[in-house]
Amino acid sequence: MITLGIETSCDDTSIALVRDGSDVLANCVANQDVFHRKFGGVVPEIAARKHLENLLPTIQTALDMASIRMSDIDVFAVTHRPGLIGSLVIGLTAAKVLAAVFSKPLIAVNHIEAHAYAACFAGMPFGTENISLIASGGHTSILHLKDDQLRLVGRTIDDAAGEAFDKVAKSLGLGYPGGPIIDRIAREGNPTSIRFPRPMLDQPNLDFSFSGLKTAVLYHLHHHPDAAREDLSASFQAAVIDVLVEKTMRAASLLKVSTIAVVGGVACNTALRTAFAQKSERSGKRLFIPPSQFCTDNAAMVAGLGYHKYQAGLRSPITIPAQSNAGFEPEPIRLSPSDV
Amino acid sequence: MISTSDAIRITSQSPEQTVRLGFLLASSLLPGDCVLLRGHIGAGKTCLTKGIASGLGVQDISSVHSPSFTLINRYEGTVPVYHVDLYRLEIDSAIDDIEFEDLWNESAVILIEWPEIAVGRIPRITFQIDLVWPMLSQTEREITISASDPQRLEHLKRDIDDHFGH
């Protein structure tokens, strides 16, 4: 069974063709970074227009790559929340039209749930109970997947981790997007040269905060304008990683879950991947981090999840709306002092 | 933008104090009011917003986070609260894309971070808050509050004098 996935929630137009939920025949991404780079961030209007321009050519490229005709597709899966509303609407409308024209089912999926699904591309069996860290430019959350239910147990109370990377990179004059640039520069720096705070690590919950860390970097930069960018980047990155790893491991041990998934654009960070690998080996947890192409926004995760939703009997009505919010009610976990 | 000649000037010593100031400010806000929050990254705009939202009855303050990617967050308090962040907008026509005009028809409180780009398109401004981080310490911020209605500024000034201890 072949699923076409469409993902347009932010600034990447992505189309994927996936057989039986896991066999990725094509995963094409039309990246808009070049258009947003000069603004130091995503510009929604540009994003929506570029989606419109990119969508059909990207679908064609995916079909060509997989040598598949539109009429071979069995299910159309698409992200309908959360994201930039103008961007979501374009992908969702395209999926609705295709499903209607070819008389095939439409499956609308949640972007966050699709990110969590991406761990299956790293070999995690579908439906495995796990703790997922989803860290990107727009989201930083810890989710607990159990019995097909995704529960939000921790999240950022201010900036997303990827947003902190972007803002720090911009303040250091390094450009956009900040994640890959800081990752690269940090390799030349000393991560222990500046002791930045590890926000929320001492708090009895699974939440994150990156606003204060961003402030600490700016303050340091103001008083040490000549500080080596390599050391600043490495020290900032080390602080982010410490908190992400520690809180995720804490969630796993608290909820007695033996499998950890790390997904979202920030999961491309090489130092983060290494830190998680070391920490989970030490604590005997199974770790799944997908290859980079399935960490950043991509339609393969949408198609994969859409396939399983279809198998479970879900069908989305043609009237389903795009929604900017995630629709997850947080279920905060309080920790006892001995857990901190 | 509003003249700051009669403004209230306050020094906040900590993020907690900035949140408390926001909470206090909320008691002067009415449905339909709009507050502009101006200041650079790290100046405390989101902190102040958390305080205002909390004062307006938004229960879950951790849900009040930076809308830099989504541009607009909506919270349910005793009145609806819109939290707008125009940091990523470079061209003011992009505002059309985020249904900005629709906000003004509802009886909600509207809080706008990085309002500079939208200045000609904001139909009413109740308070304008300028936050400056003098970089003398990590936590100290200088906060200036001005208002389009001198009477409302006077009311707020009394509230702050009574309740905002240093």
pLDDT digits (tens, 9 = 90+) for A262-280: 999 999 999 999 999 999 9
Give how far B3 is from chain A: nearest CA, Å.
Answer: 29
**3-state SS track over chain B:** CCCCCCCEEEEECCHHHHHHHHHHHHCCCCCCCEEEEECCCCCCHHHHHHHHHHHCCCCCHHHCCCCCCCCEEEEECCCEEEEEECCCCCCHHHHHHHCCHHHHHCCCEEEEECHHHHHHHCCCCCEEEEEECCCCCCCCEEEEEEECCHHHHHHHHHHHHHHCCC
CB A114 within 8 A of CB A79: yes
Q: What is the mean pLDDT of residues A189-210?
A: 93
Instruction: Read off the pLDDT band of A32 (50, 70, 90).
Output: low
Rounded Cα distance between B158 and A333, Å, is 40
Q: Which amino acid is at A3?
A: T
- What pLDDT is recorded for position A37? 57
pLDDT (tens digit per residue) in A131-170:
999 999 888 999 999 998 899 999 998 889 999 999 999 8
Kindly determine whether residue B98 and residue A41, on different chains, have CB atoms separated by under 8 Å.
no
Spatial distance between the Cα atoms of B16 and B21, rounded to a whole number of angstroms: 9
Q: What is the percent of chain A with per-residue pLDDT over 70, rounded to a whole number?
A: 93
Question: Rounded to an integer, what distance in angstroms lies between the CA atom of residue A158 and that of residue B69?
Answer: 12
A216 vs B contacts (CB less than 8 Å)? 138
> To the nearest whole number, what is the mean pLDDT of chain A?
92
Minimal CA separation from A278 to chain B, in Å: 31
Computed over every residue of chain B, the mean pLDDT equals 88
The letter for the amino acid at A296 is T
Q: What integer is the mean pLDDT of A168-175?
A: 90
A159 touches B at CB < 8 Å: yes
The domains found in chain A, sorted by start residue, are 2-116+294-311 (3.30.420.40), 128-291+332-339 (3.30.420.40)
Q: How confident is the model at residue A40 (pLDDT cuts 50, 70, 90)?
A: low
Nearest CA in chain A to B15: A212
pLDDT bracket for residue B41 (50, 70, 90): confident
**pLDDT tens-place string over residues B78-89:** 999 999 988 877
Check residue A288 and give its pLDDT: 98
Is the interface score ipTM higher than 0.95? no
Contacts of B94 in chain A (CB under 8 A): 43-46
pLDDT score of A340: 55
Question: Structural domains in chain B?
Answer: 8-163 (3.40.50.300)
Task: Judge whether B136 is closer than 8 Å to chain A, CB to CB.
Answer: no
Q: pLDDT tier at B61 (50, 70, 90 boundaries)?
A: confident
Question: Could you tell me which residues come within 8 angstroms of residue A224 by beta carbon, excluding any fewer than 6 positions away?
Answer: none
Angle B131-B135-B141 from CA coordinates, rounded to 5°: 30
CB–CB contact A330 B138 (8 Å)? no
Chain A window 186-225: which residues touch B at a Cβ cutoff of 8 Å? 207, 211-212, 214-216, 218-219, 222-223
Asked whether the beta carbons of residue B62 and residue A84 sit closer than 8 angstroms, the reply is no
**A334 CB near a chain B CB, below 8 Å?**
no
Report how far residue A83's alpha carbon sits from residue B106's, in angstroms, rounded to the nearest whole number.
Answer: 23
Interface probe for B, chosen from A84, A211, A236, A297 (most Cβ of B below 10 Å), is: A211
Q: Which residue has the tokens 């137009």?
A: A13
User: SS3 of A272, please?
Assistant: helix
Measured distance CA(A98)–CA(A60) in Å, rounded:
13
Mean pLDDT on A202-209? 90
Taking the C-alpha atoms of residue A272 and residue A276, their distance in angstroms, rounded to an integer, is 6
pLDDT of residue A11: 80
- Give pairs for A333-338: CB < 8 Å, separation 24+: A333/A153, A333/A154, A333/A205, A333/A206, A333/A251, A333/A254, A333/A255, A334/A204, A334/A205, A335/A204, A335/A205, A335/A206, A335/A250, A335/A254, A336/A204, A337/A204
Residues of A in contact with B87 (CB under 8 A): 41
Q: How confident is the model at residue A22, as a pLDDT?
A: 94
Res. B106: pLDDT tops 80: yes
Contact call for B15 and A157, based on CB within 8 A: no
Q: Is the pLDDT of residue A336 over 70?
A: no
What's the pLDDT band for B95 if we cut at 50, 70, 90? low
Contact between residue A239 and residue A137 where contact means Cβ atoms under 8 Å apart: no
